A and B are shown apart, each in its own frame.
Chain A
């Protein structure tokens, strides 16, 4: 379903980004050239994920986890390498990005589902199910600005998961809303996994990763540190992390003295 071959993504970090013509012209006349550093957010990542597999992506902040998700969902085109993704993708990435405050809940369902690439007919077919799952029937004609953040998250979750995806992309947020809805959304994701939907899950919570994923990819500074079965990778990762913490603790008194 997902095949990545030698995928690399680079960000150009410009020393001071010049966004005005004036700054460009002045600096050009002064003979200054823009200093650019290249940061490889991902370098030579290869991975192969088939039907029914769920992959946890772990690593410290800035390791490239979210960039990897963006490559797979097509937001970013890699500088090098091949990406092949088959099937329909449902992104659960910062769920509310596609909403509009001033529109009603039902208008937002149409807007958000069409952002995911669905046709009018497909949305109409799923509309009632989306409303039912979100438990927002009484508020569906109310503008979104009067919703609580939990309600918005519930609506977004319901839309993204009611579209029969072949692949689910989850960035941190596994469960949303109150305790009851959290349970419900967890169950739905597990149900997806049991049905054979491919799941990509970025998280810092090793317990959640162990519960949901059969494979784990450990990223560090854009490179794969380790990849394999969940019960092999996670202990290694935790040992590495606690080792790092020990180093920091043992060196910190010295740093204070210095």
Chain B
């Protein structure tokens, strides 16, 4: 446990590297496209359009603010899924560096999840535009937003550590995780209300961390009806669980990684 803290301190000592990795990632992603940063905002809007056209007739009628519902789901989902998907390759893609210079290796998955957080923050702009233009007022519940983002970040970092470490020993993990994410997305109530699920299945939703995160996100943005003690407690618990599992897997194997890269 004490040693484990030492590793965390090492990451803090290399915070300048963390900063540089994140800014490199963002610069590189948008340097070549003409619309640059606009894409961060356009992307969820275009997805919203697709979902809206297809599903608003089916689910929209029974719900208050369908576009805010879908958009918040999409953005929160992408924060988690994009970050952890890219992070699954964190050690494999940086093998050159890991092989030559000493570094606290966890800095690679951490920087990828942090980049994803930056994109998430930018994509809040179109989300607020959608919410405000649909006539919903943003209230005091917005104070909950930093907490929600914090637990999703912790959850994602734990997941990124798990997947990236396992991927070093079994390359298949990268592909398996891809498929898993696809299924997971459909199970996360992004574009449909939970009430359409069969009564028996509804309680199972509480096993899905993303369902809690997305609900809390919606609660902080536009509808306090989503705010329940269950979401708060289970959401936080899943975040801590994910971090302990991920950190445990990484920490136990961190000195073995180099022999498998």
Contacts and interface: CB of A to CB of B under 8 A. Distances in A.
Given A19-B170, A91-B101, A107 B16 contact: no
State the majority secondary structure of interface residues on B: helix
Interface in B78-124: 96-103
Contacts of A116: 101
B100 A97 contact: yes
Contacts of A94: 100
Contacts, number: 71
Contacts of B137: none
B104 to A, nearest CB: 10
Given A75-B100, A75-B102, A103-B27, A19 B171 contact: yes
B24 interface: yes
Given A20-B172, A21-B172, A75-B258, A98 B20 contact: no
B130 interface: no
Contacts of B19: 114, 120
A77 B257 CA distance: 11
Most chain B beta-carbon contacts within 10 A, residue among A89, A114, A116: A114
Interface string B1-25: 0000000000001101101110010
B16 A123 contact: yes
Contacts of B230: none
Given A19-B170, A74-B102, A100 B97 contact: no
Interface of B: 13-14, 16-17, 19-21, 24, 27-28, 31, 96-103, 169-172, 255, 258-259
Interface of A: 11-12, 19-22, 70, 73-77, 89, 91, 93-94, 97-98, 100, 102-103, 107, 110-111, 114-120, 123
